[in-house]
Amino acid sequence: MSPMEDDMKLKLDKKDWSEWYNTVVEAAGLSDKRYPIKGMNIWLPYGWKIMMNIDKYIRELMEKTNHEEYSFPLLIRQTEFNKEAEHIKGFNSEVYWVTHGGENKLDIPSLLRPTSETAMYPMFSLWVRNHADLPLKTYQIVNVFRYETKMTRSFIRVREIHFFEAHTVHTDFEDAEHQIVEDLDIMEEIARRLCLPHLKLRRPKWDMFAGADYSVGVDSIMPTGRTLQIGGIHQYKDNFARAYNIMYEDVNGQKKYAHQTTYGMSERLVGTLISVHGDNRGLILPPDVAPYQVVIVPIFRKDNVDAVSEYARSVKEMLDESGLRVNLDDRDLRPGNKYYHWELRGVPIRVEVGPRDMQGHKAVVVPRDTGEKMAVSLDDLVNTIVSEMDQMKERLLGHAREDALSKMAYYPTIEEMPENPEGMVIGAPWCGEDNCGHQMEDRLDMNLLGVPLENYDARDDVDMHRAMMAKFNVDESNLHCAVCGARAKGVAILARTH
Amino acid sequence: MSPMEDDMKLKLDKKDWSEWYNTVVEAAGLSDKRYPIKGMNIWLPYGWKIMMNIDKYIRELMEKTNHEEYSFPLLIRQTEFNKEAEHIKGFNSEVYWVTHGGENKLDIPSLLRPTSETAMYPMFSLWVRNHADLPLKTYQIVNVFRYETKMTRSFIRVREIHFFEAHTVHTDFEDAEHQIVEDLDIMEEIARRLCLPHLKLRRPKWDMFAGADYSVGVDSIMPTGRTLQIGGIHQYKDNFARAYNIMYEDVNGQKKYAHQTTYGMSERLVGTLISVHGDNRGLILPPDVAPYQVVIVPIFRKDNVDAVSEYARSVKEMLDESGLRVNLDDRDLRPGNKYYHWELRGVPIRVEVGPRDMQGHKAVVVPRDTGEKMAVSLDDLVNTIVSEMDQMKERLLGHAREDALSKMAYYPTIEEMPENPEGMVIGAPWCGEDNCGHQMEDRLDMNLLGVPLENYDARDDVDMHRAMMAKFNVDESNLHCAVCGARAKGVAILARTH
């Protein structure tokens, strides 16, 4: 909070990701974890702005795909929560219970939503009457609550989670399957904005979302070589519709159970983009979600403060008008301290304006990731910044891909697999049988995260499964299970997870 | 949800506000109160969009006045909650208690925030160190929870409340007083957007916010003649700073307690704008917060569907480009049904386009409140709509002022006051003594809501206290208490409240 902070240079070393992450989150003013309840942290303004920019983009994509935004209550009565048996089992040990209102004991205890199926679906059963009501495409952006017993970490494992959840209702399984393809497309769009390569994997049966017919997990590959799940897309079939009586009359007047899907993401998007892009000088924020895309640092001596300040303000005005998010740092500090301050906070573009720039009607542009300085005429400044930000996005995605790929390996047979490999993400052909999957998990001391969906055509630029297959020249037409040698259903991914 | 609804015409009569309100909220798709927990309602997309537009405007005003947005945890431990004695007393009977996480009893029970003083101030005591850290101007937009025992009503009295709260920290009382003036200015700005005349009254001692030094209530005058509090602005002095140890070092190195203020508003803004502006055809939404500012209704016969539809789409494109929020209603329904549908939902401007308009390169513009049709050339369409919306805002505010004023009366002495007047808001000079205030309350069976702040210069256009003083030619320089005849501190307002 005080200007003193700028004089205290931090030692950052991303090789120790855990220490690096905690230090950067605190020093850049993203989150304060000193709140007296473990795992419930305070979003500080700078961190909150990143999240809000992500939310804004999610809302745009939801609108484009005809989802409508709702806001459901936080509390769910035990009565409604208990209707879908698998779902309760999955969440029972990690929900917060509200038992009293004032001094009165509640007739029926309620819980804080850990996710909103059981809040929404009793209402869906009132709203859905006729095939013309379908598809019903809803979403909300709310906080959910999980009584986490593991070690907590800002944005990555917390007890109050900033959450996006889309819930859709369809006439049949096929239509729900189309929704899942749309969700995967949306996921790739978001990943492109955040420059985040990732894996999209159909989870094995033993690792599905509670109540789902099948689940697709979206996993980011972290600097540790472990994966972090950043999204979940679930086919519910009619499992919940049967439990919550969500029925519609079809064109022939027959009553049928609806089919449902969900799609969830959370503040982990912030945790992973910090981790994947940052360096030893601090954050590097993808331009689309950076609170400030540009920081202007005026460079003056005592005898030209006024002139340079005015020039800096005129540059700011010009950039503001172009729609860029700009901050003019006119604090009374040395320029070097300001550079340090904004590099730590990951502002994509620094613009320096000094007396010589002023005379030449110029400014110096410095992208955060390369640190290269370029003198630019004011007439070209907006275009240069926009084009530099585009190039930075490509570089961020490219570096993230390279780094992820360097951590990936492929083994056609279990015998070739290393024992207890640290920091690796491993691909291996798999027949789909539990037994073979578990044998690989045991050998590697890893989780089997799944295989790609057959009916989804992932895009090369962001999908790391595709990238791995290409790197190791895997012939998909002739795959045999790494354990039993039977025909494989696909190349499974195994990894340790955060 | 189904197109059938358009055929069922509702009977709306605003004279019975309670019935009218509940019907409109449901029929216009703002909120669904069938959620199984009383007073916890579902925000439906149309209602939520109104709220989000209001939030967006609040955020703009907060940014303009250098407030920063935070997001604090929902749960507050009993330990922190119990530190300010008056505050606990005020809220103890209406908080929800969380006692268990999973199957574990929590060591320290936590409550769902009813407001966030006790969540924020322990952190403020860590953040505030030095006079250079002040003023600290924070806000958040979150849901708060109150275990309401009275009858609930959508947006007006609910148990989960969509809430805005600004919390500021200052070096001294004077600086905090400036903040309160800024808050009142912001309140007037928002009221202007929502076309809501209102009262801003320093509450009597017996009706202050729990823990405040003094409280200003902002009250809207409802169609019932009762008032509804839509905002609260509080001077805390150092009351909370002492309880939560919020201290700073002043320029001389001396430790001092900080002074604090808060400013709160809620979803009641939606409740009151529905109530104040609506008519017997349904909602009338102020253009600045309407989800759609314009609805386009194409009017075609079977032989010209394609041409008219295309013309309608081109009109939509043009209006979209101008930045207006536009909906093209191309459903297969009769135009009359569509008019009814969108009038009920309060869309400010209807644009009709038929074959004749197409030929004349024209469109028909119909403001929701007047229903007057005007043929406009396409070249003038955007300008006409913008100017009609501006005029509508003036009309909405003007009508709301007239209606409020028609319910206000002024009595210089208690003897002249009617006994048990229904549907009236009454002004009377008051010396400020409890006893005199209570006598008026008893006589009228009303609450004394307070007198305007002396140091705030309210604006004529939105402030109904000013309007009342002018209407009744009250001479402020020579006021004597309506009860005891002593010199009056101002003209107090008495009313029944929602």
CB contact under 8 A, B74 and A40: yes
Q: Are A43 and B70 in contact (CB under 8 A)?
A: yes
Average pLDDT over residues B233-252: 97
- Burial code of B281-290, b = ≥16 C-beta within 10 A, e = fewer? bbbbbbbbbb
CB contact under 8 A, B2 and A130: yes
Mutate to test the interface with A, among B60, B68, B75, B125 (most CBs of A within 10 A): B75
Query: Residue A34: closest CA among chain B residues belongs to which residue?
Result: B123
The distance of A145 to chain B (nearest Cα, Å) reads 10
Dist. CA A324–CA A147, nearest whole Å: 40
- Reported confidence tier of residue A8, pLDDT bands at 50, 70, 90: low
Dist. CA B177–CA B166, nearest whole Å: 15
**Taking CB atoms and an 8 Å cutoff, what residues of chain B touch A2?**
129-130, 132-133
Residue B351's pLDDT is: 98
Query: Residue B124: closest CA among chain A residues belongs to which residue?
Result: A35
Query: Residue A3: closest CA among chain B residues belongs to which residue?
Result: B132
Residue A2's pLDDT is: 41
**Taking CB atoms and an 8 Å cutoff, what residues of chain A touch B34?**
123, 126
**What Cα–Cα distance (Å) separates residue A46 from each residue in A43, A288, B178, B365, B430?**
8, 15, 26, 44, 48
Query: Residue A37: closest CA among chain B residues belongs to which residue?
Result: B77
Residue A62: which of A330, A216, A263, A327 has the closest Cα? A263
Query: Residue B101: closest CA among chain A residues belongs to which residue?
Result: A96
Query: Residue A39: closest CA among chain B residues belongs to which residue?
Result: B73
CB contact under 8 A, A36 and B74: no
CB contact under 8 A, A75 and B160: yes
Q: What are the pLDDT digits (tens) for A220-272?
A: 999 999 999 999 999 999 999 999 999 999 999 999 999 999 999 999 999 99
- Reported confidence tier of residue B3, pLDDT bands at 50, 70, 90: very low
Average pLDDT over residues A152-177: 98
Residue A210: which of A78, A77, A93, A111 has the closest Cα? A93
Dist. CA B64–CA B68, nearest whole Å: 10
CB contact under 8 A, A73 and B35: yes
Q: Where are the alpha helices (DSSP H) in A322-377?
A: 335-344, 355-359
What is the side-by-side strand order in the sheet with B374-377?
B326-328, B294-298, B349-353, B362-367, B374-377
Instruction: Answer whether 0.90 is exceeded by the pTM.
Output: yes
Q: What are the pLDDT digits (tens) for A391-408?
A: 999 999 999 999 999 999
Pairing label, strands B96-101, B104-112 = antiparallel
Q: Which of A42, A68, A110 sits opposite B37 (nearest CB)?
A: A110
**Interchain CB contacts (distance < 8 Å): A and B:** 153
Q: Which residues contact B383 (CB under 8 A, 6 or more apart)?
A: none
pLDDT averaged over every residue in chain A: 96
CB contact under 8 A, B112 and A122: no
Q: What are the pLDDT digits (tens) for B433-445?
A: 999 999 999 999 9
**Taking CB atoms and an 8 Å cutoff, what residues of chain A touch B102?**
92-95, 147, 149
Q: Which of A1, A49, A98 sits opposite B97 (nearest CB)?
A: A98
Distance of CA B372 to the CA centre of its chain: 29
Q: Are A353 and A308 in contact (CB under 8 A)?
A: yes
Residue A110's pLDDT is: 97
CB contact under 8 A, B129 and A1: yes
Query: Residue A144: closest CA among chain B residues belongs to which residue?
Result: B74
3-state secondary structure of B124: helix
Q: Are A250 and A131 in contact (CB under 8 A)?
A: yes
Q: Which of A41, A70, A129 sits opposite B45 (nearest CB)?
A: A70
Average pLDDT over residues B392-417: 98
Dist. CA B49–CA B292, nearest whole Å: 9
Residue B89's pLDDT is: 84
Residue B8's pLDDT is: 64
CB contact under 8 A, B70 and A40: no
Rg over CA atoms, chain B: 25
Query: Residue B112: closest CA among chain A residues belongs to which residue?
Result: A98
Average pLDDT over residues B204-224: 95
Residue B414's pLDDT is: 97
Mutate to test the interface with B, among A34, A75, A144, A267 (most CBs of B within 10 A): A75
Residue A90's pLDDT is: 84
The distance of A327 to chain B (nearest Cα, Å) reads 13
Average pLDDT over residues B470-494: 96
Rg over CA atoms, chain A: 25
Mutate to test the interface with A, among B5, B49, B89, B100 (most CBs of A within 10 A): B100
Dist. CA A48–CA B392, nearest whole Å: 36
Q: Are B312 and B328 in contact (CB under 8 A)?
A: yes
CB contact under 8 A, A42 and B92: no
Provide the token pair at A220. Answer: 């980011």
The distance of B22 to chain A (nearest Cα, Å) reads 19
CB contact under 8 A, A73 and B160: yes
pLDDT above 70 for A6: no
Provide the token pair at A481. Answer: 């299970």
Q: Are B348 and B287 in contact (CB under 8 A)?
A: yes
Look-up: residue for tokens 């409020």? Answer: B404
Which helix H or strand E contains B93, and what residues bound it? none
Q: What are the pLDDT digits (tens) for B55-106?
A: 999 999 999 999 999 999 999 999 999 998 887 888 889 999 999 999 999 9
Residue B233's pLDDT is: 98
Q: By mean pLDDT, which of A457-461, B173-177, B276-280, B347-351 is the weakest?
A: A457-461
Average pLDDT over residues A292-298: 98
Average pLDDT over residues A365-379: 97
Check if the interface score ipTM surpasses 0.90: yes
The distance of B454 to chain A (nearest Cα, Å) reads 35
Look-up: residue for tokens 């009508």? Answer: B399
Dist. CA A158–CA A480, nearest whole Å: 40
Q: Which of A1, A43, A128 sits opposite B127 (nearest CB)?
A: A1
Burial class (CB in 10 A: 0-12, 13-18, 19+), B373: exposed
Instruction: Give the relative orientation of helices A378-406 and A268-277 as an angle to the nearest 10 degrees.
Output: 90
Dist. CA A94–CA B236, nearest whole Å: 38
Distance of CA B185 to the CA centre of its chain: 14
Q: By mean pLDDT, which of A68-77, A86-95, B470-479 is the weakest?
A: A86-95
**Taking CB atoms and an 8 Å cutoff, what residues of chain A touch B3?**
132
pLDDT above 90: percentage of residues in chain B: 91
Dist. CA A129–CA A171, nearest whole Å: 11
The distance of B401 to chain A (nearest Cα, Å) reads 33
Average pLDDT over residues B444-456: 96
Q: Which of A43, A128, A162 sits opposite B70 (nearest CB)?
A: A43
- Reported confidence tier of residue A1, pLDDT bands at 50, 70, 90: very low
CB contact under 8 A, A37 and B77: yes
pLDDT averaged over every residue in chain B: 96
